[in-house]
Amino acid sequence: MRLVILDNYDLASEWAAKYICNRIIQFKPGQDKYFTLGLPTGLPRNHPESYHSYMWNNFFKHIDIDPNNAHILDGNAADLQAECDAFEKKIKEAGGIDLFVGGIGPDGHIAFNEPGSSLVSRTRLKTLAMDTILANAKYFDGDLSKVPTMALTVGVGTVMDAREVMILITGAHKAFALYKAIEEGVNHMWTVSAFQQHPRTIFVCDEDATLELRVKTVKYFKGLMHVHNKLVDPLYSMKEGN
């Protein structure tokens, strides 16, 4: 497990972006290599707060991705279980996930695998915890009645099957979750802790997120930054990757 600690949110984001860029180029993506995460149920794809809209507005429309290679769970599918099963099948047909990138909630949930989720779970329909609903209310003008209460999500087991996992954790409000993720044992009440057992996990965080960690832990991982920085320097180009 790697823990990469940067001074602030912007530097953490920049380091993660460079790492992802290098991994994509090293991977040499083709027509059948793709993947992304989940979409709250109950919202049409064109709803401004749907996960589909969020990903397109903040990422996909800024890169040269073929829309056919962007696979997002459809929370309005007629048969939600069939939608989840089909998503798992698409992952297998793609050869598995090479790099899963995700964040966590203050309660340590990864994707929408809320506290208490099975650590071997697969893509499924999940009831959202009240903390998650409250955290998302800001996207719905503070109106809790408009916030979805259920979501389709990849499971912890689905993510554990990825060849590599990157988790971004920033802000003091997620410091206790980072502590639970790396300094305590694996616990289904803190689903992010499952990645202690993944052979290739990278946690990328800012200084604020380390506030609950032991001083010794922070010093240890900061002492490895010269090694971690070799993962993003040099920054590869697609021309070099080919």
What's the CA gap between 203 and 192, in Å, rounded? 10
Which pLDDT does position 36 carry in this prediction? Answer: 46
Range with the lowest mean pLDDT among 2-6, 89-93, 187-191, 234-238? 234-238
- With cut-offs at 50, 70 and 90, classify the pLDDT of residue 34: low
For 6, the 3-state DSSP assignment is strand
Beta bridge partners of 203: 3, 167
Which pLDDT does position 95 carry in this prediction? Answer: 84
Give the 3-state secondary structure of 31-56.
CCCCCCCCCECCCCCCCCCCHHHHHH
Which pLDDT does position 39 carry in this prediction? Answer: 45
Amino acid identity, position 54: Y
What's the CA gap between 38 and 58, in Å, rounded? 15
Record: fold of 2-28+38-231: Rossmann fold (3.40.50)
> Domain segments of the chain: what residues?
2-28+38-231
Sign of CA dihedral 12, 13, 15, 20: positive
**Residue 37: pLDDT above 70?**
no
- What is the chain's mean pLDDT, rounded? 90
- Higher pLDDT residue, 52 or 87? 87
- With cut-offs at 50, 70 and 90, classify the pLDDT of residue 61: confident
Residue 47: name the closest of 135, 145, 148, 127 by CA: 148
- Higher pLDDT residue, 60 or 81? 81
**Per-residue model confidence as pLDDT tens digits over 62-92:** 887 778 878 888 888 999 999 999 999 999 9
The percentage of residues in the chain with a pLDDT greater than 90, rounded to a whole number, is 67
